Structure 1
Amino acid sequence: MTTEADLSIRLTRAAFNRALAEADLAAIGPLLAPDAVLVTGTDSALLSGRKAQLLAWKREFAAPERVIYTRTPDRVVASSIEPIAFEHGTWQGAVGDRIIASGDYTAKWRQTGAAWLIEAELYLTLG
């Protein structure tokens, strides 16, 4: 059974994926909590805060061979006692049709008003 949280998070993730594909920083910002944390998959670099993530994405978008990252949720687990949820899934980075990296990820979300915001993401590179 799909819960309201599950559907909202999947729709927000789809919007995030579109923003990455379109290099749309303005669309990414509102999807991240102000203190959002991201731990990258290969070197475990820590990006702490919305501003740090937006700067990193800005650099990624300017790269001569731009990688398009896509996250695909497998499941979303919402807490029954707090407005928080975990998203588990797979990710990939591609240049054109060539996948250059992929793996698993987990994201923690928090509902703020009607919106679900990403608080933390942790990536594992497997390929």
Structure 2
Amino acid sequence: MDSPDLAIRLRRAAFNRAIADADLAAIGQFLTNDVVLVAGTDSALLTGRKAQLLAWKREFASANRTVYARLPHRIEFSAVAPIAMEHGEWQGVTLSGTNLASGTYAAKWRKAGGEWMLEAEIFLTLA
């Protein structure tokens, strides 16, 4: 794939699909081993792929679980390393269609082994 911007946007779309489909195996393919996630409301810190997959597993077990989607607005690329920062909006909607929460986020990506992988995500809950 020639465009790094398109590559990350396609990976983000696939990550969103994996969340919607409750596909833990697919989610794991986007995360580095030491990925970090800072939650939007309580700033809970999830460190590592295993911790994040465990959190998703608990989320997916709920009968009316929340489906989270990240919607990228812009992606900045480093001129000194194979890294990028994605900026956008996120939303959480329950399976029954209730808008639960939304806000903004930033995600750091690193190209490793020919693929863009998530290293970190930080969320801010606004609504």
TM-score w.r.t. structure 1 length?
Answer: 0.96
Which residues of 2 match residues 4-19 of structure 1 at below 5 A?
A: 4-19=3-18
Which residue number in structure 1 is paired with residue 43 of structure 2?
A: 44
> Post-superposition shift, 1:114?
1.2
> Post-superposition shift, 1:35?
0.2
Which residue number in structure 2 is paired with residue 123 of structure 1?
A: 123
Instruction: Give the secondary-structure state (helix, strand or coil) at the position aligned to 1:64.
Output: coil
C-alpha distance in structure 2 between counterparts of 1:87 and 1:81, whole Å: 17
> Post-superposition shift, 1:71?
0.3
> Post-superposition shift, 1:92?
0.3
Which residue number in structure 2 is paired with residue 59 of structure 1?
A: 58
For structure 1, the residue ranges without an aligned partner over 5 or more in a row are none
C-alpha distance in structure 1 between counterparts of 2:78 and 2:48, whole Å: 24
Which residue number in structure 2 is paired with residue 111 of structure 1?
A: 111
> Post-superposition shift, 1:65?
1.7
> Post-superposition shift, 1:97?
2.3
Instruction: Give the secondary-structure state (helix, strand or coil) at the position aligned to 2:22.
Output: coil
> Post-superposition shift, 1:27?
0.2
C-alpha distance in structure 1 between counterparts of 2:29 and 2:19, whole Å: 13
How well do the aligned residues superpose, as a CA RMSD in angstroms? 0.9
Instruction: Give the secondary-structure state (helix, strand or coil) at the position aligned to 1:81.
Output: coil
Instruction: Give the secondary-structure state (helix, strand or coil) at the position aligned to 1:60.
Output: helix
> Post-superposition shift, 1:59?
0.2
For structure 2, the residue ranges without an aligned partner over 5 or more in a row are none
C-alpha distance in structure 1 between counterparts of 2:63 and 2:42, whole Å: 21
Aligned AA for 2:70?
R
> Post-superposition shift, 1:98?
1.8
C-alpha distance in structure 2 between counterparts of 1:113 and 1:66, whole Å: 33
Q: How many residues align?
A: 125
The structure 1 segments of at least 4 consecutive aligned residues displaced by more than 3 Å after TM superposition are none
C-alpha distance in structure 2 between counterparts of 1:42 and 1:5, whole Å: 31
Instruction: Give the secondary-structure state (helix, strand or coil) at the position aligned to 1:41.
Output: coil
